[in-house]
Structure 1
């Protein structure tokens, strides 16, 4: 790619220690988390003229060092990872019921809660990016002042013409109350170029009656384009005066839906950054998500 300038997409959030069942009461350790999963797949979907970086915070313990090495081995740049003495990554365990999953979390002292606490570090991370991705979980783990600082800088990036993608990824138990959660999600939509909500989450949190209602609400909040994911049901792509449903890929026997929405978001964002239309990007999202649900864990190795 000689002569083509390198561009950088920065994914922002928390990577955790993942414990997934290996059978016979044993668990396999991995590293995953919604925005990291998306960064992982972005690196595999984007062309060589794009770099992928991860903005988070880790400790200086052995597991943080292993995680940092895992990032680098995946081709994800680590120069925007804050290191905090005495801190450690969070941890979660996957529980499967058929292909559906639930989680147990240990994240109260996670280093990632401090990812936006250093203004100079935050300015450098955002200032060197050409596109950004973050989620409702990113917002939920941050103290209110740090959350506001991150949204302010992402709003400035959007105003400068940079792509800002946001997946609300609503997890009510991470928030002190539903009202604060809804305010933060709505504020994030206002700084987003692309919004990637999941309809079941939005129906429960905002009372939306249909994917169309979800799309119209996020467009009204300031997002330029909205893709409403709905599991194996069609996705709704909405922008300007266009509204189109895109059928999902057929998967007869899904094994594990962990990471399906994150991978859809990665393929969609990569396709848009590479110049594909929203409809074609949604098709790319469905294809990758269908591959992911046929494997255990969030990441296809």
Structure 2
């Protein structure tokens, strides 16, 4: 059984339903990735390493993890803290914007739980996944603890996967984000950025420029998501661009990249080829953006992805 650890934050999500009422659920980029990975590849042991509070919302959040069959052994409790919260606003084209209340969230205390025992568990994993948001949530004076952790994981043979997921408001400036991201690039075996964040940070708009830039970091597999148009994959220095089929009706783009990440990671760890993994991941994202909220109904996802995953598993 594959053993995956995902490191990040989950928050209380508020989104409007079609009748204008507010719906409460739980989401966050890395948690969303964990959910969709587990839904698509149920035989994986998917573990979420995060911190929550001891309040009722935290209790409900952990119950939501368990309902999704995401392992909670690495979920830590912080006395006197509570989860962060965000609200989604969606325009007529399905594009979303967010309002956040997370500056004092329990997840920001996660580094105090990097104990020898917990590091031992993480070192037994097959894959460790984190994001730029995971890094931004860590207080700056504790980031060195994270990099020491990552070094121990690499030395133990754990593969490292990273999605930059750049959110400008979470960083002091672009320079701070670049320093942290470039450390992540050097440490990661698999990097999964969106082209828009590389454009925001570095001004890159062409895959060839991205390839030249990333070649210095020794990344084994680079997967660049270009919205509904295509995905560019660079593996062992060879570039390929894979077209994807956009969906006709976009309701809410929240978690498009997260669902892509989860299914892509699961597919690659299952031995499915790069191009086929992209198509599976794009199909997952295409289904997710036809529903409101980050975590869509499990049956809708299963109806779409179950036959596709089974087909690719047979063909690989």
TM-score (norm 2): 0.89
Q: Deviations over 1:10-30 (max 9, x none)?
A: 111000000010245421000
Given candidates 225, 237, 257, the residue that maps to 1:261 is 257
**Inter-partner Cα distance in structure 2 for 1:125 and 1:90:** 26
Of 22, 25, 30, the residue aligned with 1:27 is: 22
Tell me the SS of whatever aligns to 2:17: strand
Aligned-residue offset at 1:44: 1.2
Stretch moving more, 178-187 or 143-152: 143-152
1:279 aligns with 2:287: no
Taking the TM superposition and a 5 Å limit, the aligned residue runs for 1:204-283 are: 204-283=200-279
**Which is further off, 18-27 or 64-73?**
18-27
Answer yes or no: is the 8 Å Cα contact 1:116–1:122 preserved in 2.
no
Partner residue in 2 for 1:106? 101
1:3 — aligned with what? none
Q: How does 1:46-57 map to 2 (within 5 A)?
A: 46-48=41-43, 50-57=44-51
- Which position in structure 2 is the counterpart of 1:94? 88
Alpha-carbon distance change, 246 to 112 in structure 1, aligned in 2, over 3 angstroms: same
Unaligned stretches of 5+ in structure 1? 1-5
Matches of 1:215 and 1:103, distance apart in 2: 31
CA drift of 1:146 comes to: 2.8
CA-CA distance at 1:46 after TM superposition: 1.8
Counterpart in the other structure of 2:284? 288
The Cα offsets for residues 18-73 of structure 1, whole Å up to 9 and x where unpaired, read as: 0010245421000000000000001012241x200100000000000000011011
Return closer, same or farther for 1:149/1:34 CA change in 2, 3 Å cut-off. Answer: same
Tell me the residue number matched to 2:33: 38
Mapped partners of 1:37, 1:225: distance in 2: 22
Structure 2 residue 51 is the aligned partner of structure 1 residue 62: no
Give the match's secondary structure for 1:229: strand
Q: Give the distance between the partners of 2:196 and 2:37, measured in 1 at CA.
A: 24
Q: What is the Cα deviation at residue 122 of structure 1?
A: 4.5
Q: 1:192-241, CA deviations, whole angstroms, 9 ceiling, x for partnerless residues?
A: 11000000111011111313322432342232110000111111000113
Q: Does 1:167 align with 2:163?
A: yes
Moved more, 29-38 or 122-131: 122-131
CA apart distance, 1:295: 0.9
How many aligned positions are there? 295
TM-score normalised by length of structure 1? 0.94
Paired residues of 1:55 and 1:80 also in contact (CA < 8 A): yes
More helix by share: 2
Counterparts of 1:115 and 1:58, CA distance in 2: 9
| CA–CA separation in structure 2 for the residues paired with 1:116 and 1:253 | 41
- For 1:145-191, what per-residue CA distance to the aligned partner results, in whole angstroms no more than 9, with x for missing partners? 43222222223323433221100000111011211111001101111
* More displaced 10-residue stretch of structure 1: 169-178 or 62-71: 169-178
| Contact 1:13 1:138 (8 Å CA) reproduced | yes
**Contact 2:123 / 2:156 at 8 angstroms: preserved in 1?**
no
Whether the aligned pair in 1 keeps the contact of 2:9 and 2:134 (CA below 8 Å) is: yes
1:72 to 45, 66, 75: 66
